[in-house]
Amino acid sequence: MNYTYLDTPIGELLLAGDQDGLRELGFPDGPKRRRAEPAWELRDTFFAEAKSQLNDYFSGSLRTFSLPLKPSGTPFQLDVLQQLQKIPYGETVSYGEIAARLGRPKAMRAVGAANGRNPIPVIIPCHRVIGSNGKLTGFGGGLPTKSALLKLEREA
């Protein structure tokens, strides 16, 4: 696996992937803090397009990513990730709404678990999923990061 780091307004993000696409985006803080593994190879230029699109996103000039992505997960988790990619920029939905879109309206907790295992946050926008009461809920990069991403999208 290849990797690099990118300085962003929410901290230094880890990007990891291979010739098939981006496989991971890791946060510097929070419950899902992620760093490169010893066997990985540092290759900054390999991620030029991902870095460019992320920089554009953080500057407010990009609303939709167009990168080859190769997230891992169970079939259900991958279905949830596909639904996350359909949430429009600057909007939020609840876990229950995602479950309903999947035809499994009672699977809110399973959707929450799949959302929490998203290996490519920000690009696959799990930060756009909130509780049914409108409150922010858990986020791998920490709630301050989730709040910052939602604020960025509201103000762009």
CATH architecture of 2-59: 2-Layer Sandwich (3.30)
Q: Residue 100 — left, alpha, or beta (φ > 0 → left; ψ -120 to 50 → alpha)? A: alpha
pLDDT digits (tens, 9 = 90+) for 91-113: 999 999 999 999 999 999 999 99
Place of tokens 């870095």: 51
Average pLDDT, rounded, for the chain? 94
- For 146, phi then psi, to 5°, come to -60, -45
Q: Residue 2: helix, strand or coil by DSSP? A: strand
End-to-end Cα distance, the chain: 34
Question: What ranges make up the beta strands (E) of the chain?
Answer: 2-8, 11-18, 21-26, 41-42, 93-94, 129-130
Report yes or no: 53 and 93 within 8 Å, Cβ to Cβ.
no
* The two three-digit tokens of residue 156, written as one number: 């762009």
pLDDT of residue 109: 93
Alpha carbon distance 105, 96 (integer Å)? 6
d(CA 13, CA 57): 14
Catalytic residues: 126
Query: Rounded to an integer, what distance in angstroms lies between the CA atom of residue 64 and that of residue 66?
Result: 7
In the chain, where are the structural domains located?
2-59, 75-155
Residue 156 has pLDDT above 80, yes or no: no
Question: What is the assigned CATH class of domain 75-155?
Answer: mainly alpha
pLDDT digits (tens, 9 = 90+) for 30-63: 777 888 999 999 998 999 999 999 999 999 999 9
The contacts of residue 78 (CB under 8 Å, 6+ apart) are 71
Convert the pLDDT of each residue in 118-135 to its tens digit.
999 999 999 999 998 889
In the chain, the percentage of residues whose pLDDT exceeds 70 is 100
